[in-house]
Structure formats: structure tokens, C-alpha cells
Amino acid sequence: MDRFLPIIGAVLAFAVTALLGFIVIPYLHKLKFGQTILDIGPKWHKNKQGTPTMGGIMMVAGVLVAFAACYGISACLNGGLSESFKRIENFGVTIAGIVMAILMCAIGFFDDYIKVVKKRNLGLTAKQKTFLQLFVSGAYLLTLWLCGMRCTVIPFIGTVDISKGFGLLFWPIALMFIYGFTNAVNLTDGLDGLASSVTVVVACAFMLVAGALLEYSTNTLAACLAGACAGFLVWNAKPAKVFMGDTGSMFLGGMVVALSFGIKRPILLIVAGLMYFVEAISVMLQVAYYKKTKKRLFKMAPIHHHFEMSGWSEQSVVLLFSAITLISCIVMFILAKY
């Protein structure tokens, strides 16, 4: 039965997320939780002013409801939890990942709330957000240790013991890895449907890899995430009727990180999440280059705005980034075998 749970999870997550749009979006309109478009962005984005934000809560609900349903189905049809849901090192790591993603979502929610309700365009300060994200990341890694995670797998190298010696360097590196990728996904959320489209592809890739590795709890969670992102695209594809806000992008960041740790191969996220990585690097390069030369390396960063400023339509940028992600995910799938 475990092998059918991803299909059930994906369909449920899609349905819950898409249907919630009929309830959540009018409610956000009623609360006047509209997006504020900053003057530093492309001028043509000004027509998006007032589009409801914080819609990422729809994806959170979709993933949680779908995964909980799969958990219940596994328990009922197997006469008790199946082995993949029983093993603490597998299921415990999956649950820890979900909790971490929800806490990242909470940080994003407070950031959005301050922007929208308190009318402070920049939300939480950089120091506040960094502290909270590192705290959540550290707590997540501690939970992984308590769940029995003592190794990671690196392509062409094999299984690496992370409980002693040089292997202990894994933990501080992992801390910055989680922090970095969570923010990279956040930066990717800048065009209608961009973050959702890229993450659908990434989630599907991790679903396939987890299934091949018989990591059924991660396999099911990845399917739920893919379904939720697809359901959100019903409302977020151009012209977007709702934005996910930091509430959604921080959740997605936490989820893709959780999937990579769920298969004990976090390094593969660098390959699968190539476009997240490129978005973050483009910002860092832009800042460093400007400080040194007082000139811009890109017309605007993150790099998706550079393509826009170069005359690309939003749909074309989304299609390009999704296609590149598909290619990088195929490479990731191949590397997962080594």
C-alpha cells in the first residue's frame, strides 16, 4: 500500500490547496492583506499592488492535511503503521522536517504581518530574521541527531560518518546550508508562479529518489508538497490572484531542505535546487560588485528580474527556470545512484 500513498497525497494536497483559494483569497481581501510593491522593483509590477499576500498558508494546509491522511490510511489498511512509518530514523526525521518547515513558515508569517498590518515595508529586521532562522535550523539538526541520524551519503564518496572526527564538520556546514537554502527559495519568489513551478519540479524529483531508496515517508511528503504547489499555481500563475508571501516561500524552503535530509543526501539539493542557488548567488554578486565598482553586474537582482528588465515576459522566465530545474533534477536523480 505504501507505494500508492504518494499518489493519494499529491491528489489530496492539490485539492485542499486549490479549494482553499475560494475561502482564503476573499478573506485576505476582506482583511486588506494586500502586497505592497516597492519602488525599487520593475515599474510594471506596480499593477500588482494590493494583490492578497500570505496565501502560502493554503499550501501549508494542503501538505499537512494530505500527509496526515496518508498516515491514517497507512495505519488503517496495514492493520497498524507500516514499517516505513514506524522506523524512528525515517519517520522521525520526516516529522522533524515538517515541524522545521512550519516554524520557518511562522517566521515568514510574522515578517508578512509586520509588512502588511504594521505597514513596515521591510518586515522583520535582518538580524531578527537571521537569529530566528538559525535557531530553528539548529533545533532541527539537534532533532535529527536525537532521531539517530549518524551518516550522510555523498555521490562518488559513499556513506560518511558524521558522528565523529572530521565528520562532525557536517553539522555547522548543515546549519548554514539550511539557512542559505531557506532564504534562496524566498528570493526565488518574485514572479507570478515562479517559486511554485520550480518547487513542483524539485519535489517530484525528491519523490522519485525517495521512492527508489525505499524512504516511503519522505516519498509521500515530497508528493504532498508537489501537489500543494500545483494546487497553489491554480491561483498564483500569471496573472496571480494571490501571492504566497514569506509565509509560503519560507515554508517551501524548509520543506525542500527537509526532503534532502529525509533521503540522507542533503548535498543533492545543490543540484536539484540549482535555480534557488543561482538566485541567491546573483544577489550576492550584485551587492559585492556594486560595493567595489559602484556599477551593477545585473540590470536587477535576483536574476529573474534581470531577465524581465531584458524584455522577457514573466511566463517565459518561469518556463526557462522550470526547464533548467528539470534538467538539474535529472542530473540529481542520476547522482543519487552513486
pLDDT per position as a tens digit, 257-294: 999 999 999 999 999 999 999 999 999 999 999 999 98
pLDDT at 34 over 90: no
pLDDT for the residue 92 = 85
CA distance 97 to 104: 10
pLDDT for the residue 88 = 47
pLDDT at 45 over 60: no
The answer to whether the bond into 302 is cis (omega within 30° of 0) is yes
pLDDT in tens, 292-332: 998 999 999 999 999 999 999 999 999 999 999 999 999 99
CB contact set of 48 (below 8 Å; sequence gap of 6+): 35, 37, 240, 243
- Distance between first and last Cα of the chain: 28
Radius of gyration of the chain (CA): 19
Q: How confident is the model at residue 71 (pLDDT cuts 50, 70, 90)?
A: confident
pLDDT for the residue 250 = 97
pLDDT in tens, 76-118: 876 555 555 555 456 789 999 999 999 999 999 999 888 887 7
Q: How confident is the model at residue 230 (pLDDT cuts 50, 70, 90)?
A: very high
For residue 154, list its beta bridge partners: 158
CA distance 262 to 13: 19
pLDDT for the residue 5 = 87
Q: How many CB atoms are closer than 10 A to CB 309?
A: 12
Is there a contact between 315 and 238 (Cβ–Cβ < 8 Å)? yes
> Any alpha helices (H) in the chain, and if so which ranges?
5-31, 57-77, 83-86, 93-116, 126-146, 170-188, 194-212, 216-236, 245-262, 268-272, 274-293, 303-309, 314-335
pLDDT for the residue 216 = 86
CB contact set of 269 (below 8 Å; sequence gap of 6+): 177, 181, 256, 257, 259, 260
Is there a contact between 115 and 52 (Cβ–Cβ < 8 Å)? no
35 Rama class: left (phi>0) / alpha (psi -120 to 50) / beta: beta
**Mean pLDDT of the region 4-28:** 95
CA distance 72 to 85: 11
**Mean pLDDT of the region 226-240:** 95
pLDDT in tens, 179-196: 999 999 999 998 999 999
CA distance 98 to 14: 18
DSSP 47: G
CA distance 146 to 64: 23
**Mean pLDDT of the region 244-268:** 96
> How many residues can be counted in the chain?
338
CA distance 201 to 205: 6
pLDDT at 58 over 90: yes
